Structure 1
């Protein structure tokens, strides 16, 4: 039997859960589908989902079967945020990335219809610097035809230069098993 439970939300490293469980963080642009992907992967509506960008403002920690933690990170790139909010977001995310002793991978969640840009490249460079594997999950694949998906995948592959890329749809439940299998075999 599988269980997933919400542990807590936090901003500062001193408030992060103190466990020995491996952590997998979900990062990406606002409204890319991070919370929906978490919910689909664990088959539970544990992470809050909103159609409004920028709703997740804290790091949210979820315990999966006492095996590992999933961390839902706030999205970046939301235009309606003030400079001080952007700075606070950056401090919170960098605080987590720099202080987590159990972070095993970051899943960079990206809407398949968007281009790889400077924010994604910065995340890639940052995770490379920290030695943390970066896994790209292209979401909302159901919004495109199969041929459009293939075109987008090729374009993103050229820009991202990542080994681990998964195409997912939380709505159609596609690509989720491949991503889960990769996480279990390579990360946890």
Structure 2
């Protein structure tokens, strides 16, 4: 069992060369800018400000590592934020490729998708990329408190179809505000760590 209360920040990497050797098991979180990634991680850790929540989307430009006992949780920079120059976008691409294509002990990627909207081309691209590389992933549909339970379930089904997600891929409706789905997501993570 992972003790989420033991989470502590360990390091940031701004370039692929700065990435640590991935010997410890890793659970990575990825999603569009402002999908609620930092808030979700803080909710998992039962901490308000451990993972920096930005008032402006696209602010997280590094890969941030958090240690929980024998596991590292990894906060990846959000994608799809338009107001970055070509140099910065290239650095981001190199950093993400360096992470996903490097030798890592990646147990699970939690791909965050905003349940209120149709899947974006970038969401589909990320899922396709994870599939291509063969990384195990699950989907966390964020901001589930904004829809009724029945509407949320219908929308989650629609999004899975839009993203062409296989039936074997787990998905969870989550809300950092209401705490919806947090225990369920923890169970998905535990299952992968014990796999």
Q: With structure 2 as the length reference, what TM-score do the two structures score?
A: 0.89
How do residues 50-89 of structure 1 correspond to structure 2 at under 5 angstroms?
Answer: 50-65=54-69, 67-89=70-92
Q: Give per-residue Cα distances to partners, 1:98-138, cap 9 Å, x unaligned.
A: 11421222111111112113212221221122211121101
After TM superposition, give the deviation of residue 19 of structure 1 in Å: 5.6
Structure-2 separation of matches of 1:147 and 1:185 = 26
State whether residues 26 and 106 of structure 1, in contact with CA within 8 Å, keep that contact through their aligned partners in structure 2. Answer: yes
Residue matched to 2:50:
46
State whether residues 12 and 96 of structure 1, in contact with CA within 8 Å, keep that contact through their aligned partners in structure 2. Answer: no
Structure-2 separation of matches of 1:186 and 1:70 = 13
How do residues 149-164 of structure 1 correspond to structure 2 at under 5 angstroms?
Answer: 149-160=152-163, 161-162=165-166, 163-164=169-170
How do residues 37-186 of structure 1 correspond to structure 2 at under 5 angstroms?
Answer: 37-44=40-47, 45-65=49-69, 67-160=70-163, 161-162=165-166, 163-186=169-192
Aligned residues: 187
Q: Which runs of 5+ in 1 are unaligned?
A: none
